[in-house]
Amino acid sequence: MKLTLETALCEQFRIRYPIFLAGMAGGPSTPELTAAVSEAGGLGTLGAAYMEPEAIRAAILRIRELTASPFGVNLFVVRADDDYTGIRDVQRELDKVRDRLGIPRAAESNVTSPNLFHQQIAVLLEEKVPVISTAFGVLPEPYMSEAKSAGLLVVTMVTTVKEAQLAEQAGSDAVVAQGSEAGGHRGTFDIDEQPMGANIGTMALVPQIVDKLSIPVLAAGGIMDGRGLAASLALGAQGVQLGTRFLTAAESGTNPAYRKALLASDEQSTVLTKAFSGRPARGIENAFIREWNASGIAPLAFPTQNTATRDIRNAAAKQQLDGYLSLWAGQGTRMLTDGQPAGEIVAEVLEQAASIIH
């Protein structure tokens, strides 16, 4: 079947098909996965929020070795000052887990979160990354103007109509409407106002944003196959962003214990939690989340909680203990495929969508 799913978004972003890879910060995101999605005609995105600036540069160079197609890099736009309110109680609770994992207890003074955003964005601008995408807010000035002046495209993740309008007004070229079904961190701009993030379902969120914006909207959240793509286009979106579907792709860097947990999960397995990072995120409920909730202790603010739990997550990854990993995932995990190449996933999604639409 001839695929005729091009939208205006495709021409604008110089891609063949309206499929973006979500920028999944941490282990799952690799240059190989990013390049594979771009090579298949979509837009691969490197999740670089936790990466050192020079590691981002090296990853960009590797992506360019693997593909000549456009790609993106995703960063978090968020205040990164540490907040130590309640840290004694938090560390006391985390030490119970450290004892269980056989790793050293951590002194309070060890919790220092590096604020790398300015150096990270400088690398993206120096390397002229074709697409810069952000979560937790709009790319701030002067970086927005610098990106636009260099001919780079800017994408903002949003969770409400108001956020989408702010993104358009600030100069974003497109927005990703992130429904409540989506895995990983909520993209909500202000979690003081909405402590667990804005959680509007994809089906309700997308058309309301489409109706208020003049720039392209991509749908995200629970979209795992061609049915989700076809439905999103019917709602007025010009494309989709998939993250969870690619977590078990052949090229992803997902930890084996994480993969196993994903493939054993179902539509009821995920919860919203701040336990790992201090910001609301959707992931598979596990021992760490249950124990944290039972403690009644409030997590530290992001990024301090994320920094405080890093040694636990790293140890759990080495020991292959999914009970203490952050298992970010959306609500569509029954539709995962194990070890499928990313290019095949893109082709499969397109074929199914085309079959439905035609």
Please say if the pLDDT value at position 143 is more than 80.
yes
**Domain boundaries of the chain, sorted by first residue:** 1-80+115-251+341-358, 82-112+254-335
The reported pLDDT for the residue numbered 5 is: 85
Whole-prediction pTM: 0.96
The reported pLDDT for the residue numbered 109 is: 65
- Topology, domain 1-80+115-251+341-358: TIM Barrel (3.20.20)
Who contacts 326 (Cβ-Cβ below 8 Å, separation ≥6)?
26, 276, 277, 281, 283, 309, 313
The reported pLDDT for the residue numbered 81 is: 85
Measured distance CA(247)–CA(349) in Å, rounded: 15
pLDDT tens per residue across span 193-220: 999 999 999 999 999 999 999 999 999 9
pLDDT tens per residue across span 150-169: 999 999 999 999 999 999 99
Both tokens of 277, joined, read 């990072």
Please say if the pLDDT value at position 1 is more than 50.
no
- Give bridge partners of residue 20 from the DSSP assignment: 43, 241
Percent of the chain with pLDDT over 90: 94
When pLDDT is averaged across residues 311-324 and rounded to a whole number, the result is 97
The reported pLDDT for the residue numbered 2 is: 43
User: Residue 75 phi/psi, 5° resolution?
Assistant: -130, 160
The reported pLDDT for the residue numbered 108 is: 64
When pLDDT is averaged across residues 174-197 and rounded to a whole number, the result is 97
Measured distance CA(105)–CA(91) in Å, rounded: 8
Model confidence at 73, pLDDT cuts 50, 70, 90, reads: very high
> Do 308 and 300 meet the contact criterion of CB atoms below 8 Å apart?
yes
The reported pLDDT for the residue numbered 27 is: 87
Model confidence at 261, pLDDT cuts 50, 70, 90, reads: very high
Model confidence at 106, pLDDT cuts 50, 70, 90, reads: confident
When pLDDT is averaged across residues 100-111 and rounded to a whole number, the result is 85
Residue of 122, 113, 124 lying closest to 74 (CA atoms)? 124
When pLDDT is averaged across residues 174-196 and rounded to a whole number, the result is 97
3 against 269, higher pLDDT: 269
CA 198, chain centre distance (Å)? 16
Measured distance CA(14)–CA(9) in Å, rounded: 8
When pLDDT is averaged across residues 311-335 and rounded to a whole number, the result is 97
The reported pLDDT for the residue numbered 247 is: 98
* Local structure of 231: helix, strand or coil: helix
What single-letter amino acid sits at 196? Answer: M
When pLDDT is averaged across residues 29-58 and rounded to a whole number, the result is 98
